[in-house]
Structure 1
Amino acid sequence: MAMNTTRRDFLKTSAAGAAVGTAFWVANEPKVALSNNPLEKLNFACIGVEGKGSSDTDSAGRDGSVVALCDIDESRLNKKARRYPDAAKYIDFRVMLDEMGDKIDAVTVSTPDHTHAIAAATAMKQGKHCFCQKPLTWSVSEARLLRKLAQEHGVATQMGNQGTAANGLREAVEVVRSGAIGNVSEVHVWTNRPVWPQGEGRPTETAEIPEGLHWDLFLGPAPDRPYSPVYHPFKWRGWLDFGTGALGDMACHTANMAVMALDLFDPKTIVADHTGIVEGETYPKSSTITFEFPETEKRGPVTMYWYDGGRKPPVELSQGEKMSNSGSLLVGSKGTLFSPNDYGASYKLLPREQYKDFAKPEQSLPRSPGHFTEFAIACAGGAPAMSNFDYASRLTETILLGNAAMRAGKKLEWDGEKGEFADADANKFLGRDYRDGWSL
C-alpha cells in the first residue's frame, strides 16, 4: 500500500471497518481474506533480517510485499536480499524510513532488544504500522512510550510473542477466567535459559570489526564500547547494554498466559534472588524473582515466581506428572493448571482424576488465523492483533520490572500509576540516557 492518494483512500475505507471484505477475523469464523489486489497489498520494510528476523521477513512476504530490507550486517542483508531481489537495501533504518516513507505501510523490528524502541518509535511517528519482536523494549520507560505513541498515531501494532495466537493459550485463559481452578494465589514460571553467556565480565581481548558489519549502528543508543565477537550475532542477549537476559527473552512467552488470564500488571513489590550481575555487564547465570500483585476487583492477591538458569519451582505435581524444562503453573483453590510449554500453547488440569469429566467453558476469545496474519489484518483495517502494544507493553513492563529488581539488588516497591519506585535511586533502572546521535 504505497501511500499515494489512491492508496490513502483505500486505507481510510478499510480502516472504517473490515465489512468491505478486505480483512477480518472473528471468534467463530477462522476464514481470512487479505486482498490480492496489488493496489491493496501491504508494503513492508523489515529491520533486522536474520535470526528471528528472517522468519519475520518471510511472514511479511506472505501477507504483503517486502519493499525494503535493513540490517547492520551486510552479509546478512545480502543473504536475505537474494530472496527479495526487488527490495531496497539499507544499513540504517532511519535513512530507510526517510527515503522510502511513502512507499512503506508497515515495519517489522527484529533487532537486538536495545534498538527495539527507537526503531519502532521512529516508524510509528511516521504513521507506519509496527510489528516488533519480544520483549517489546529494553526498558520499562520505553515500553510505556511505545504504548503512548501507538495510541497517538493510531497505527496497528503487534509484539512477536507468537504463543498469543495459539488456541491452547487462549483456551487456557478462558479456563482460568471461568473459575475452573478456583481463586489463583500462586503462579510459577520457569525456563531453561540462558543458553548464551551470562554472569561474566567485559571481554578484555580486542578484535577487528568484520568487513560489512556496521558496529556503530549495532550500538545504536547503547553506550560506546569496542567491538568483540562475543556480542554479535547471537550472544548479545546476556549483556545489560544490549539484551534483557533470560527473563526478557522468555517471560513474554512463558508468563504470557498467566499474565493475560489474571491481569498481572503493576506488581506492588518485586525482589530477586540471583547468582550475581558481574561488573554491571551481564545478567546472572540463574535467578528467582518474586512479584507480588495486589488484589483487584476480579481476583485476590497473586504471587508470581520466575525461575531461570536451571532453577525450577519447589512444587510437587500430582499423580506423578513430570516437571518440564520450561513452563508455567497456576495454583488455584480448586486445582492447578500446568502448561509444560514455552508458549502456553498446551495445558493440563490437575489432579487429572478431578478434571476427567471437565467441560470447557464457552469460548470468549477469538481464535487466531495466524500470529503475523493477525497483524496484517489489523494493518488492513481489521480487528487489532491480540498482542497489540496496549497489551504487549504492559506485559513487557511487568517482566522488565524483574530486571530492575535484579540490578537494584533489593526489594522494590512499585507505583504503577506514577511509573516509579518508592526507592528513588532504583528509578535509574527504568531507562537510560541514549548515546549522542540517538534519541526517542
Structure 2
Amino acid sequence: MPHRLHRRQFLRSSAAFGAGFLILGRDPNRAFGQSPNDRVAIACIGVGGKGSSDTDHAAACGQVVALCDIDDRRLKQKAEQYPDAKTFHDYRELLDALGDTLDAVVVSTPDHTHAAASIDAMKRGKHVYCQKPLAHSPFEARAMLEAARAHGVQTQMGNQGTASDGFRTGVELIRSGALGPVREVHVWTNRPFKYWKQAPDLVARPEETPPVPEHVHWDLFVGPAPMRPYHPVYHPHDWRGWWDFGTGSLGDMACHTANLPFMGLMLGYPTRVSAVSGAINPETYPAWATITYEFPARGELPPVKLTWYEGAKDGERNLPDPALFRGRTAVDSGSLLVGEALTLYSPSDYGMEQELWPTRADDANDTAIALEIPRTLERLGGEDDRDLNNKREWVRAIVDGGPSPLSNFDYAAVLTESMLLGNVAVRLGEAIDYDAEAMTVPGRPEADRLIRPTYREGWSL
C-alpha cells in the first residue's frame, strides 16, 4: 500500500491505512468481538488489581465459571459480580475440582506464581491467557513455551498493545525495510516512579511482623517463593519491587515497551547481556539500571544492540542520550529504532504510535517520505478496546482452532525469557554470555542459579 509520511507525522493505523484488514482463516460471518459465550468456560486465577479487569474481559468473551484469589475481600467483591462462578483460594484445588468442565484459565497473579498456575493448567489441557511478564525467571518462560507446545493449547500473554492496530502497523513498517538496516535500539520506562517502592526507599525486609489478616491466605500468596513473614509491604500491591515476588521495572514494562522492536526486528534470544545499576541488595530491585542486549544476525538482518533504561540515578531520570532525539523531549516511556535511512520513535508504552525522521543529522528537510508498506497482520479495530481485544483474539482461536493469537507463548515466552535475562545481569553486575539452547551461562554457576530458581516444597513446575 503506497503511503507518504512526513517525518514528524505520528502514525495511527486506522487513519493511515484504511479500514480493511486481512482475514486469517476465521468465519467471516461472525464479526470480530462477537462472543461465543456458550462455548468457552473460563476460570480466573487472581481477580484483584489487573485481575479485576481481566475477569471482566473474560466474562465479555466467554462464561466465567470459577474465581480464585488468596484475598477473601477481593474474591468476595468479584463473586458478587459473578454469583454463578465457584470460588477458590488455591488454584490447584480449582483445577482439581472443575476437571473437564473447564476450557480455559486467565492467570493474573503476582509474577512469581504465573508459571506454576499456567503450567498446571496447560498440563490438564486448558487454554491459558497469562498476564505479562509471562514468568518470574528465564527458565519458567521456556517451560511455559514447552508446555504450550506439548499440550496443543491456545495461549496469549497480556501485553495488550499487541492487539492494537497502531502496534501492528509499526511492526509492518519496521519489517518493510523502510528504516534501512537497524543495529541500534533504545527502550526506556517511567517505572517504578509513583507505582511501587524498591531501592533506595526499601532495601531490607521490615523488622516488624504483624499478624496475617484473616482475609489473606498468606501461604498461598508466597506460593513457590521462600516463606517469609507477612507484611502489608508485599500484599496487595508493592510485591513487584521484591526479588522473590516481582520482576521489577524490566518485568513490568519490557513486555510492553520492547515489544515493537522485538517483534518488528524478529529478534530471538540474545547472546550477551550486560548491565550497570544502582547498589544491589538481596531483597529489592535497584534504584536504576541500564541493560544492554546483544542479538545476533537473523538471516540478512544485521546484529542488534538493544539498550534498556529504568529508574533514576542521582535524582535524574535514567534515559537515553538526549542527542538521539534530535531536539525533541523524550516521553516517559518509549522506544527508538535507529536505522541507516530512518529513525523510528514510538512515544508510547505499547508501541501504538510511531514518528519517523531521517537518521542523518544533516538531513533536516521536511519533505514527505514515500513508503510502500505491505499489510500482513490482521487489524482488530477499536484502539480503546485493545485489552479486551487481546482476550477476544485468544477466545476466537479457542473456538475456531486457530490461527494462534499474535502474542501466543511461542512468541511471548522468547520475549519474556530474553528480557528477564537483564535481571540476571543486574544481580551479577557484569556481562553474561548466554547459551540459549542449553539455557546456561558457561562457567557461571551463580548465573545459572538465577536462571533456574529453586521452589518451595509443593510448588514445583
Find runs of 4+ consecutive structure 1 residues off by over 3 angstroms.
17-23, 30-36, 317-320, 351-355, 357-360
Query: Normalised by the size of structure 1, how large is the TM-score?
Result: 0.91
**Pick aligned residue for 1:78 from 70, 76, 89:** 76
Aligned amino acid, residue 186 of structure 2: H
Name the structure 1 match of 2:104: 106
Q: Is 1:202 matched up with 2:205?
A: yes
Cα deviation for residue 379 of structure 1 reads: 1.2
Q: Is the partner of 2:457 in helix, strand or coil?
A: coil
Seen in structure 2, the aligned counterparts of structure 1 residues 321 and 90 have a Cα distance that, compared at 3 Å, is same
Aligned amino acid, residue 197 of structure 1: K
Q: Is 1:416 matched up with 2:440?
A: no
Q: Which has the higher contact order (CA 8 A, sep 6+)?
A: 2
Whole-angstrom distance in 2 between the partners of 1:260 and 1:176: 9
Name the structure 1 match of 2:323: 316
Aligned amino acid, residue 36 of structure 2: S
Whole-angstrom distance in 2 between the partners of 1:175 and 1:100: 45
Seen in structure 2, the aligned counterparts of structure 1 residues 100 and 206 have a Cα distance that, compared at 3 Å, is same
Seen in structure 2, the aligned counterparts of structure 1 residues 61 and 32 have a Cα distance that, compared at 3 Å, is closer
Unaligned runs of 5+ in 2: 1-23, 312-316, 359-363, 382-388
Name the structure 2 match of 1:358: 370
Identity among equivalent positions (%) equals 51
Name the structure 1 match of 2:132: 134
Cα deviation for residue 123 of structure 1 reads: 0.4
How do 1:6-405 residues align onto structure 2 when only pairs under 5 Å count?
31=32, 33-35=34-36, 38=38, 41-194=39-192, 195-199=195-199, 200-278=203-281, 280-309=282-311, 310-317=317-324, 320-351=327-358, 353=365, 356-359=368-371, 361-368=373-380, 370-380=389-399, 381-405=401-425
Seen in structure 2, the aligned counterparts of structure 1 residues 397 and 19 have a Cα distance that, compared at 3 Å, is closer
Q: Paired residues, what number?
A: 414
Name the structure 2 match of 1:5: none
Contact 1:295 1:301 in 2 (8 A): yes
Contact 1:45 1:66 in 2 (8 A): yes
Contact 2:162 2:390 in 1 (8 A): yes
Q: Is the partner of 2:323 in helix, strand or coil?
A: coil
Cα deviation for residue 403 of structure 1 reads: 0.6
Cα deviation for residue 34 of structure 1 reads: 4.1
Query: Normalised by the size of structure 2, how large is the TM-score?
Result: 0.87
Contact 2:32 2:380 in 1 (8 A): no
Whole-angstrom distance in 2 between the partners of 1:32 and 1:193: 32
Aligned amino acid, residue 104 of structure 1: L
Q: Deviations over 1:352-371 (max 9, x none)?
A: 84563433502111213521
Aligned amino acid, residue 265 of structure 1: G
Aligned amino acid, residue 298 of structure 2: T
Whole-angstrom distance in 2 between the partners of 1:69 and 1:338: 41
Q: Is the partner of 2:232 in helix, strand or coil?
A: coil
Unaligned runs of 5+ in 1: 1-16, 24-29
Aligned amino acid, residue 376 of structure 2: S
Contact 2:267 2:298 in 1 (8 A): no
Q: Deviations over 1:354-400 (max 9, x none)?
A: 56343350211121352110011111123211000000000001100
Aligned amino acid, residue 155 of structure 1: V
Whole-angstrom distance in 2 between the partners of 1:33 and 1:22: 10
Contact 2:44 2:107 in 1 (8 A): yes
